[in-house]
Amino acid sequence: MTASLSPPRVLLLAVHFATKSDVQGLTALVAHHPNVLRPELILRVLLTCLPETLRSSEYVGLIERIESGDLYAEPDLSIQFDSSSVQDITDAEAAKKTRRLHLLPLAWVDAPEDALADPVSLFLIHRAHRVDQEAGLLTQLPDLIVPFLQHAPCIRTWMVSALLPLLRRNYEYYPHEPITQTLESFERLDSRTAVALLLSQTGVREEDLPHVGRDLRGLIGPWLHNDARWDKSMEKQSPTESDRSDRMACPAWEYVLEWLTTQAVVSWRVAVKAFDQWDGPNDVDLGEYGSGWLGDEEQGLLERRFARAALASAYSIPEASVEALSGVNNIITKIMTLLDQDPCPTLQVASSLLSPFTELDSERLISAKSASLMRNDLLEESNYLTTPNQTSTQLLHVLTLSAFILTKAGAPCSVRRAGELAFLRDEREQKATAVKLIHSLSTNGPKNDDKYWIRARNELLWLRDWGAEEAFGSSDIQTYGIFSRLKKDFLEVECLKAFLANTRYSLARSIYEDSPDKPLNESVLRDTTVAAAMEAYDNASNPHRGRGGLLKCDDIIHAFPKTLPEMHPAARRIEALLKATHALSEYRLVLKKGEPFTPVVLRVLTDPVSIIGKVLEQNPKGYTNIQDLLDIGSNMVDAGLLDSDTSKPSRINSTPPSDPHIATRKRITAMCVDAALTEDDFETAYSYVVNRVAVYADPQVTDEYSWKAALQAGKYRRTARTVKPTHIGTGSGNLDIRHLEQRIECLSTAVRIAPPATLQEILNVFRKCEEELNAAIKAEEAQESAWDDQGDVQAMPGAFSSTVPAGVVRNATRSSRHVEEAPMSLFDLSRASMARAQHNLSALSSLQRSGQSRASDVEGSLDDASGQPRVRKRDQLREAAVGTLASGVGWLIGAQPVDRSQERE
Judged by the rule CB under 6 A, the positions of this chain that interact with ligand NAG are 361, 384, 387, 389-392, 489, 501, 521, 523-524, 535-536, 539, 541, 809, 811, 813-814, 840, 842-843
Nearer to ligand NAG, 232 or 814 (CB): 814
Buried b (16+ CB within 10 A) or exposed e, 563-594: bbeeeeebbebbbbbbbbbbbbbebebeeeee
Nearer to ligand NAG, 68 or 811 (CB): 811
| Nearest distance, CB of residue 552 and ligand NAG, angstroms | 6
Instruction: Tell me how far apart the alpha carbons of residues 146 and 736 are, in angstroms, rounded to a whole number.
Output: 131
Residue with Cβ nearer ligand NAG (39 or 419): 419
Q: Is the Cβ–Cβ distance between 579 and 641 less than 8 Å?
A: no
Q: Smallest distance from the beta carbon of 539 to ligand NAG, in angstroms? A: 4
Asked whether 548 and 540 are in contact (CB, 8 A), the reply is yes
Under a CB-based contact definition with an 8 Å cutoff, are residues 706 and 870 in contact? no
**CA-angle at 224, arms to 220 and 226, nearest 5°:** 150
CA 250 – CA 266 distance, rounded (Å):
24
Contact 253, 305 (CB under 8 A): yes
Spatial CA neighbour of 647 closest among 634, 635, 662, 657: 657
Question: Angle of helix 488-501 relative to helix 427-444, nearest 10 degrees?
Answer: 20
Tell me the torsion sign for CA atoms 867, 869, 874, 880. negative
Name which of 13 and 493 has its Cβ closer to ligand NAG: 493
Closest separation between CB of residue 566 and ligand NAG, Å?
Answer: 21
CB-based contacts of 8, cutoff 8 Å, min separation 6: 91, 94, 95, 97, 98
Q: Closest CB to ligand NAG among 642 and 882? A: 882
Side-chain-facing half-sphere of 460: CA atoms under 13 Å: 31
Nearer to ligand NAG, 383 or 876 (CB): 383
CA atoms of 212 and 269, how far apart (whole Å): 10
C-beta separation of 429 from 421 below 8 A: yes
Sign of the Cα torsion 290, 294, 300, 301 reads: negative
Cβ of residue 902: shortest distance to ligand NAG, in angstroms? 9
User: Whole-angstrom Cα distance, residue 744 to residue 782?
Assistant: 23
Q: Are 780 and 734 in contact (CB under 8 A)?
A: yes
Nearest approach in angstroms of CB 204 to ligand NAG is: 36
Alpha carbons 324 and 408: distance in angstroms, whole number: 11
User: Which one, 840 or 856, has the nearer CB to ligand NAG?
Assistant: 840
How far apart CA 483 and CA 418 sit, in angstroms, is: 10
Nearer to ligand NAG by Cβ, of 170 and 362: the residue is 362
Residue 551 C-beta: closest distance to ligand NAG, Å:
11
Q: Are 227 and 185 in contact (CB under 8 A)?
A: no
C-alpha–C-alpha distance, residues 664 and 650, integer Å = 14
Nearest CB to ligand NAG, comparing residues 80 and 390: 390
Q: Which is nearer to ligand NAG, 114 or 489 (CB)?
A: 489
Q: Give residues with Cβ within 8 angstroms of 606, minimum separation 6.
A: 644
**AA letter at 726:** T
The DSSP letter of residue 562 is T
CB of 392 to ligand NAG, least distance (A): 6
The answer to whether 331 touches 270, Cβ cutoff 8 Å, is no
In angstroms, what is the minimal distance from the CB of 523 to ligand NAG? Answer: 5
Q: Is 515 exposed, middle or buried (0-12, 13-18, 19+ CB in 10 A)?
A: exposed
State in angstroms the smallest separation of the CB of 108 from ligand NAG: 47
666 burial class (0-12, 13-18, 19+ CB within 10 angstroms)? buried
| CA atoms within 13 A of residue 904's CA, in its CB half-sphere | 3
Compute how many other C-beta atoms are within 10 angstroms of the C-beta atom of residue 90: 12
Q: How far is the CB of 720 from ligand NAG (least distance, A)?
A: 31
- What backbone phi and psi angles, to 5 degrees, belong to 596? -70, 155
Nearer to ligand NAG, 679 or 780 (CB): 780
Taking the complex as a whole, how short is the minimal distance between the CB of residue 814 and ligand NAG, in angstroms? 5
Q: What span, in angstroms and rounded, lies between the C-alpha atoms of 4 and 658? A: 144
**Residues 857, 876 contacting (CB under 8 angstroms):** yes
Nearest distance from C-beta of residue 487 to ligand NAG, angstroms = 7
Calpha distance 749→857 (Å, rounded): 12
Residue 6 or residue 503: which is nearer to ligand NAG going by CB? 503
When the beta carbons of 227 and 361 are compared against ligand NAG, the nearer one is 361
In the bound complex, what is the minimum distance in angstroms from residue 389's beta carbon to ligand NAG?
Answer: 4
Dihedral of alpha carbons 556, 558, 559, 563, sign = positive
Helix or strand or coil: residue 502?
coil
Phi (first) and psi of residue 102, to 5 degrees:
55, 50
When the beta carbons of 39 and 549 are compared against ligand NAG, the nearer one is: 549
Least distance (Å) between residue 657 CB and ligand NAG: 32
CB of 813 to ligand NAG, least distance (A): 5
Q: Which is nearer to ligand NAG, 506 or 868 (CB)?
A: 868
Question: Please, what is the minimum distance in Å from the beta carbon of residue 715 to ligand NAG?
Answer: 33
Produce one character per residue of 533-558: b if its CB has 16 or more CB atoms within 10 Å, e if not: bbbbbbbbebbbbeebbbbbbbebbb
Tell the smallest beta-carbon distance from residue 809 to ligand NAG (Å).
5
Looking at the Cβ atoms of 146 and 843, the one nearer to ligand NAG is 843
Q: Which is nearer to ligand NAG, 139 or 443 (CB)?
A: 443
Cβ-based nearer residue to ligand NAG, 276 or 535: 535
- Rounded to an integer, what distance in angstroms lies between the CA atom of residue 857 and that of residue 864? 10
The distance of closest approach from Cβ of residue 159 to ligand NAG in the complex, given in angstroms and rounded to an integer, is 41
